């Protein structure tokens, strides 16, 4: 039986299926998402997966300690895509949101405190499916939870899957590819597109501040190397210090589309529904001002930095 969240998210998936089958988008019911029900369902279903593993041969969701170790082992590695992946395709007259949202996921963790036996919600972030066999892309820093957290992914139709391994990582570029146990399902995925030019329109779909599956639009603002100014880590980006040459190597893409805490790992799409970047962090102009000038002028501008298409491409086997 579907949970309450499944029923709410099923409306979203049904709208996509109807449109893909040729039904006019205007004729489908609007998709409503119950944010609190989604959170409750994520915790409940991931806890069931973890507890079943503890008592039988169920799926093992990696812990934060295992994730930390696997991130180091996966640094510099890349993944091989299936030969014929199942990709979301943007059809004529179809809204981009309906076409790609089945491949956008919630990624998060649960943990147990020292005061009770219940599972509690840890962090929640964004991610996207790179391949139909369960390859999920998100930020490197998303796996930086302390303590004994267990990681899982929820798809747009409300299904929850355990994160079983981290296969490729780029710490400086703030990107990682994880594997989920799809339980034999072929999941909808999105492909990586060409590098967008400055001024090109882009769309972000992510989960800012627990407002799941929010769409924002903007343009590519610029490409740049990492600066030394301290970050205002509204998306909990990787720490970068002066003289950290490795962290200065990646090229970053800035966009004008809005995002916030919880958007980390959210895909940035071009007009064809291809991923051309990924949300990472924000910088505030006040971080470059001294105390007196900050008090006088306040925040003047917020820069929204994304993992570039170049960094994403380095995580994928170039022979594919």
pLDDT in tens, 1-12: 344 444 444 444
Q: Report domain extents, the chain.
A: 4-180, 201-314
The CA distance from 280 to 225, in Å, is: 14
pTM value > 0.75: yes
pLDDT in tens, 131-170: 999 999 999 999 987 778 999 999 999 999 999 999 999 9
User: Quick one: pLDDT at residue 239?
Assistant: 41
What topology is assigned to 201-314 in CATH? Answer: Thrombin, subunit H (2.40.10)
User: Quick one: pLDDT at residue 297?
Assistant: 60
pLDDT value at 17 more than 50: no
61 within 8 A of 153, measured Cβ to Cβ = no
What topology is assigned to 4-180 in CATH? Answer: Thrombin, subunit H (2.40.10)
How many other C-beta atoms lie within 10 A of the C-beta of residue 232? 17
pLDDT in tens, 179-225: 999 999 999 999 999 999 999 999 999 999 999 999 999 999 999 98
Same CATH topology for 4-180 and 201-314: the answer is: yes
pLDDT in tens, 85-133: 778 888 998 999 999 999 999 999 999 988 898 999 999 999 999 999 9
């Amino acid at each position: 039986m579907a949970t309450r969240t499944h029923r709410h998210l099923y409306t979203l998936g049904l709208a996509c299926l109807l449109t893909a089958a040729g039904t006019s988008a205007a004729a489908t019911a609007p998709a409503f998402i119950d944010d609190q029900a989604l959170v409750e369902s994520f915790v409940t279903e991931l806890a069931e997966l973890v507890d079943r593993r503890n008592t039988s041969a169920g799926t093992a969701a990696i812990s934060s300690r295992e994730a930390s170790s696997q991130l180091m082992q996966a640094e510099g590695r890349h993944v091989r895509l299936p030969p014929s992946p199942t990709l979301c395709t943007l059809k004529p007259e179809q809204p981009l949101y309906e076409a790609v949202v089945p491949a956008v996921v919630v990624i998060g963790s649960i943990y147990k405190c020292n005061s009770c036996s219940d599972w509690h919600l840890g962090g929640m972030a964004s991610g996207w499916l790179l391949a139909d066999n369960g390859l999920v892309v998100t930020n490197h820093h998303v796996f930086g939870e302390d303590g004994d957290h267990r990681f899982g992914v929820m798809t747009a139709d409300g299904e929850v899957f355990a994160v079983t391994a981290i296969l490729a990582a780029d710490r400086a570029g703030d990107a990682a590819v994880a594997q989920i146990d799809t339980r034999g399902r072929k999941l909808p995925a999105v492909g990586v597109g060409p590098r967008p030019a400055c001024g090109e329109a882009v769309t972000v779909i992510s989960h800012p501040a627990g407002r799941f599956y929010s769409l924002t639009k903007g343009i590519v603002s610029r490409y740049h190397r990492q600066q030394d100014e301290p970050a205002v880590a509204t998306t909990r980006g990787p720490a970068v210090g002066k003289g950290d040459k490795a962290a200065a190597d990646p090229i970053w893409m800035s966009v004008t589309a809005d995002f916030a805490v919880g958007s980390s790992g959210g895909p940035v799409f071009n007009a064809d529904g291809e991923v051309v970047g990924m949300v990472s962090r924000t910088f505030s102009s006040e971080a470059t001002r001294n105390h007196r000038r900050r008090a006088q002028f306040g925040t003047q501008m917020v820069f929204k930095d994304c993992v570039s298409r170049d960094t994403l491409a380095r995580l994928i086997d170039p022979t594919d």
